[in-house]
């Protein structure tokens, strides 16, 4: 496995654990390069029985995965669509592949993850968040759309329908403690304890006797969201190509979206477009 082939990921392995650091400056947007690298890496690791756990973190202290690249066009996505699993869109394909990965997948969340980035977090088997630094939000409604990468299904399963509606329609950034209380992440931990805790957990899982991880993942299977993902894609596609959506995204980019300063209070930036 040639880890140097990934443009946006840094990959290392030790004692059955693959450590994957997302590195896509300036703010780790979820663009075509990241989605391509993630899907290729997950495909490669799926056939590697020497890896039992995959831990994802970020090279950027402020952003895990900011959100889907707001400048993407259908033409940009053509390459990903050519290799698309049945009945899912390009964004859902990332989450579904992550959810069905044979290894245990863990997100170490020490920065913000919004939109498609938050969907990646909820698709992983486990997520642990740094108090005072981590943030999770589904901000799509502020751009005139709904989540289109699995959040309506994965999040509802994790937090329940009423809280999923609060997250999707309230479009606020949840801190680590709230995300833990809602069930979006496993635990909120003091920032200085996050690395040690996740690394210990990952290596303890990887050190289990042969067959235990595979048996647990076989028994504790992901829910089948095929029908729900189809409904989500229909709802998302019915909104994303409207002129008002393009106007909101364009205005957001003009006001500083996808810049480090603008993304610190991305929700406030988007709400300000109505003013």
Identify the structural domains of the chain with CATH numbers, from first to last: 3-208+222-274 (3.90.226.10)
Q: Is the pLDDT at 1 greater than 70, yes or no? A: no
pLDDT value of position 75? 92
* Stretch 44-53: mean pLDDT: 96
pLDDT value of position 3? 53
pLDDT value of position 102? 98
pLDDT value of position 131? 98
* Dihedral (CA of 231, 234, 240, 242) sign: negative
- 14-31 pLDDT, tens per residue? 999 999 999 999 999 999
pLDDT value of position 83? 79
Q: What is the overall mean pLDDT for the chain?
A: 96
**Phi, psi at 233, each rounded to 5°:** -60, -40
Dist. CA 155–CA 152, nearest whole Å = 6
- 163-191 pLDDT, tens per residue? 999 999 999 999 999 999 999 999 999 99
Dist. CA 154–CA 96, nearest whole Å = 10
* DSSP symbol at 30: B
How many Cβ atoms sit within 10 Å of the Cβ of residue 187? 18
Dist. CA 179–CA 157, nearest whole Å = 14
Confidence of residue 275 (pLDDT cuts 50, 70, 90): low
* Stretch 231-244: mean pLDDT: 96
Q: Is the pLDDT at 54 greater than 70, yes or no? A: yes
- 102-157 pLDDT, tens per residue? 999 999 999 999 999 999 999 999 999 999 999 999 999 999 999 999 999 999 99
Strands (E), the chain: 9-14, 17-22, 53-58, 63-65, 104-109, 112-114, 126-131, 135-137, 174-175, 187-190
pLDDT value of position 5? 81
Residue 154 burial class via C-beta count within 10 angstroms: exposed 0-12, middle 13-18, buried 19 and up: buried
């Amino acid at each position: 496995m040639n880890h140097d082939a990934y443009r946006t990921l840094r990959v290392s392995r030790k004692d059955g654990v693959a450590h994957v650091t997302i590195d896509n400056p300036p703010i780790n947007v979820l663009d075509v390069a990241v989605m391509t690298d993630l899907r290729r890496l997950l495909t490669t690791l799926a056939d590697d029985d020497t890896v039992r756990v995959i831990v994802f973190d970020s090279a950027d202290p402020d952003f895990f995965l900011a959100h889907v690249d707001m400048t993407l066009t259908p033409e940009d996505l053509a390459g990903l669509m050519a290799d698309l699993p049945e009945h899912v869109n390009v964004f859902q394909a990332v989450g579904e592949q992550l959810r069905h990965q044979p290894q245990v997948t863990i997100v170490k969340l020490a920065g913000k993850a919004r939109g498609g980035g938050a969907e990646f977090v909820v698709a992983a088997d486990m997520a642990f968040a740094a108090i005072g630094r981590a943030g999770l939000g589904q901000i799509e409604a502020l751009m005139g759309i709904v989540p289109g990468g699995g959040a309506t299904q994965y999040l509802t399963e994790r937090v329940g329908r009423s809280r999923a509606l609060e997250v999707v329609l309230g479009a606020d950034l949840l801190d680590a403690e709230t995300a833990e209380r809602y069930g979006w992440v496993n635990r909120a931990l003091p920032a200085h304890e996050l690395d040690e805790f996740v690394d210990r957990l990952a290596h303890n899982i990887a050190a289990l006797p042969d067959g235990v991880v595979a048996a647990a993942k076989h028994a504790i299977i992901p829910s089948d969201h095929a029908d729900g993902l189809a409904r989500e894609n229909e709802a998302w596609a019915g909104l994303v190509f409207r002129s008002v959506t393009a106007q909101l995204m364009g205005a957001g980019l003009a006001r500083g979206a996808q810049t480090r300063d603008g993304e610190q209070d991305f929700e406030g930036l988007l709400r300000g477009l109505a003013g």
